[in-house]
Every structure is written in C-alpha cells, then in structure tokens.
C-alpha cells in the first residue's frame, strides 16, 4: 500500500500507482524485534526476541539485560507467557531494568518485573478507536475509565457495560456487541 485516502487506496509494487476505490480498509501489522537481537549470540524465542528472566536479565548472562520489543519478558504467574510488545509494558520494563542494572552493580536488590497491563487501544482513524480499557482492582471503590485521555480520538468503540463512569460495579467485561462512544458522552 503506497497511500490510503478517505475512499480509495493507491497500490505499491508491480501495480504501482493504481488507484482502487474502497469504503473499508483494514491494515494489520505484526511487531517484530530488530534483526540485531538475533545476531548477538543470545538465546531468542521463536519470534526472535531475546529470552530474559523476571528481572529482565538474560539467563546465564547476569550482566546482560533486554526489554521492550527486543525481549521475551515473562508474565509473572503465567508459565510460558510473555508480555506483549506495547509501550505501556516497555516503559515499566525500563524502570525495573534500571533498578536491576543498579542492583547488579551492588546498589539495591534485584526486583522482578510485574505488570498486568492497563488495556489496549487500537487507533482506527482520526476519530475512532477500539479499546479494552477497563481493569479493576478489588477494594478500589469501583471502576474508573481513563480511555478518553488515551487518544485524541473523538469516539471510542467499546462495550456498553464499559461506558465512561466514575464508578461502575461489579467490574466485568461485557459480551455485548461493541458500540461507538463519543468522547465526552458520559451516557454511552
């Protein structure tokens, strides 16, 4: 795809320059680590991410740390599962990694990386997004939504039970069909 417009796409490659009318365009892309990760002589997983332990250190190489898209960071309590390559995880991995590098130099104690995620947001256009944005903690006084602050989008597509509210209990995801919530519309 060379270019996408409001009701057309312009193809790239052998058909370069060909314009195709369309009313819907869906693009999916995978996230892959930099190829350099596989050339370092460190253990990697099936996707080419550097294998690390819960402190973000490479097993057998306590002086080597990896994080973010380049690392297969284990999820605490979920044997074999690794964190998704998202910014919310990478930012928190950076704090843990910094503490663990300092600990490896004799300043403090190593700490495991533990983070469950705040939800996901997929930007669909300038005005729309899909989101799973609600995470609740028992005893937190209900559930709060921060989704309208996550994106400059004016609307979010989400589940009706997740309509913006200062408190909404009990906290559970809905199996209902998603609906469009307009930014600032507290009624859902």
DSSP 159-185: -GGG---S--SS-----SPPEEEETT-
pLDDT confidence bin for 144, thresholds 50/70/90: very low
Predicted confidence (pLDDT) at residue 3 exceeds the cutoff of 50: yes
CB-based contact 83:75 (threshold 8 Å)? yes
CA angle, 116 then 120 then 121, to 5°: 160
Residue 162 confidence (pLDDT): 40
Residue 31 confidence (pLDDT): 77
Q: What percent of the chain has pLDDT over 90?
A: 36
Q: Report the mean per-residue pLDDT for the chain.
A: 73
- Residue 131, SS3? strand
Give the residue, 71 or 29, on which the prediction is more confident. 71
Predicted confidence (pLDDT) at residue 179 exceeds the cutoff of 70: no
Residue 15 confidence (pLDDT): 62
The residue-averaged pLDDT of 160-180 equals 37
Residue 41 confidence (pLDDT): 94
The residue-averaged pLDDT of 122-129 equals 74
Q: Please name which of 5, 69, 62 lies closest in space to residue 31, comparing C-alpha atoms.
A: 69
Q: What count of other Cβ atoms lies within 10 Å of the Cβ of residue 148?
A: 20
**Domains in the chain, CATH or no CATH each:** 1-26 (no CATH), 40-104 (3.50.50.60), 118-188 (no CATH)
């Amino acid at each position: 795809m060379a270019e996408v417009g409001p009701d057309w796409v312009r193809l790239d490659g052998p058909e370069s320059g060909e314009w195709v009318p369309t009313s819907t365009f869906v693009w999916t892309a995978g996230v892959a680590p930099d190829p350099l990760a596989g050339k370092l002589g460190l253990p990697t997983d099936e996707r080419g991410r550097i294998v690390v332990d819960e402190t973000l250190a490479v097993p057998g190489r306590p002086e080597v740390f990896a994080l973010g898209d380049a690392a297969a960071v284990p999820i605490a309590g979920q044997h074999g599962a690794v964190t998704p390559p998202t910014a919310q995880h990478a930012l928190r991995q950076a704090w843990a990694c910094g503490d663990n590098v300092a600990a490896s130099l004799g300043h403090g104690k190593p700490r495991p990386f533990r983070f469950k995620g705040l939800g996901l947001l997929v930007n669909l256009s300038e005005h729309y997004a899909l989101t799973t944005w609600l995470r609740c903690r028992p005893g937190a006084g209900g559930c709060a939504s921060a989704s309208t602050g996550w994106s400059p989008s004016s609307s979010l597509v989400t589940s009706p039970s997740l309509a913006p509210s200062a408190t909404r209990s009990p906290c559970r995801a809905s199996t209902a069909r998603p609906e469009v919530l307009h930014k600032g519309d507290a009624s859902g």
